[in-house]
Amino acid sequence: MKQEILRIEKAIAFTKQVFESELMQQLKLTKVSAPIAVLSGTGINDDLNGYERTVDFPIKQLKDKKAVVVNSLAKWKRIRLQELEVEEDHGIVTDMRALRPDEDYSSIHSIYVDQWDWEKRISPHSRSIDFLKSEVRKIYKALKQTELQVSSIYDDVQPILPSDITFIHSEQLLKMYPKLSPKEREQEIVKQYGAVFLIGIGGKLSNGEPHDGRAPDYDDWSTRSDEGFTGLNGDILVWHPVLQDSFEISSMGIRVDKKALINQLDEKGAFGRKTLFFHKLLLEDKLPESIGGGIGQSRVCMFMLRKRHIGEVQVGIWDESIKTKEKEKGIVLL
């Protein structure tokens, strides 16, 4: 068993190394350092769906000012692009480590989140669906190349990703499967195509509900595109052959400009955020246009190594009953 765990650890390290290298090459990214926590009350930390609790703590040397462990680095990265004066069509990537105590445990969720958080400076003229798709294809190419390299070393991994990723808007998906839940719709479309980029996450669809939640102040989910739908963001979904289910690899999108930020804050009833540090910078035109996202490191490893549980590729905190249950299935959690 110990040797098997060591073998898995080596495979995890190899997978991460390969994908990170491919991603940086495809998107022209430079690896940078990043914080584990930021000061509370600045608007820099991400609110995710808006109701999750954060892990916070006082800092003695700052007269007990509160800091919060990050949920993700979407807004911090945009500030960093400006500070580093990164040129257009280039960006940054970092190892993001987060704690999300309200996350519901499952085979693909734990309270520990590790992802490649990336952000890329773009021109205002690049705020389009066509540009979004071009960047998604680059990430997908990095995934394809990683799968090929992993499969060349590990005999139990066979390449299954299709040659191209399929694009569909969440409104189109709703029309196709009006009686299914959002997750059931995802399962149907990804099972059919193998790899899908689902566009338009956060804005209300024709049924009055969003496909899934998004905070109002990083992804642009309200701008109407040339295709007649709203949203310049989305999720990369692949079919996991062991779980036999749709599997989210990444959430990403073109970031809000001033107009989209105002619209989305208003829609979410969160206009009070306009006085926060990050939001003031954006409203005063002091931040660059950008595209960015997070790509789950453990998710990529789960998919590439064909693992059934996220605890097989990351060390987490699990209830003993969960450990026992998984062990009975032959799954050992790290």
C-alpha count within 13 angstroms, C-beta hemisphere, residue 331? 19
Strand intervals (E) in the chain? 29-31, 37-39, 56-59, 65-69, 91-99, 112-121, 166-169, 195-199, 233-240, 245-254, 290-296
Q: Catalytic: which of 103, 188, 227, 248?
A: 248
Q: Tell me whether residue 115 is one of the annotated catalytic residues.
A: yes
Q: Tell me whether residue 100 is one of the annotated catalytic residues.
A: yes
Q: Tell me whether residue 95 is one of the annotated catalytic residues.
A: no
Q: Which residues pair with 116 in a beta bridge?
A: 95, 295
Q: Tell me whether residue 102 is one of the annotated catalytic residues.
A: no
CA-to-CA separations, 11 to 8, 18, 97, 147, 307, in angstroms, rounded: 5, 11, 20, 12, 12
How do strand 245-254 and strand 290-296 relate by DSSP bridges? antiparallel
Q: Catalytic: which of 72, 115, 225, 246?
A: 115
Tokens encoding 312: 């097989």
Q: Tell me whether residue 147 is one of the annotated catalytic residues.
A: no
Q: Which residues pair with 199 in a beta bridge?
A: 169, 234
Q: Catalytic: which of 251, 264, 290, 297?
A: 251
Q: Catalytic: which of 20, 147, 186, 235?
A: 235
Amino acid at residue number 211 = H
Active site residues: 46, 100, 115, 235, 248, 251
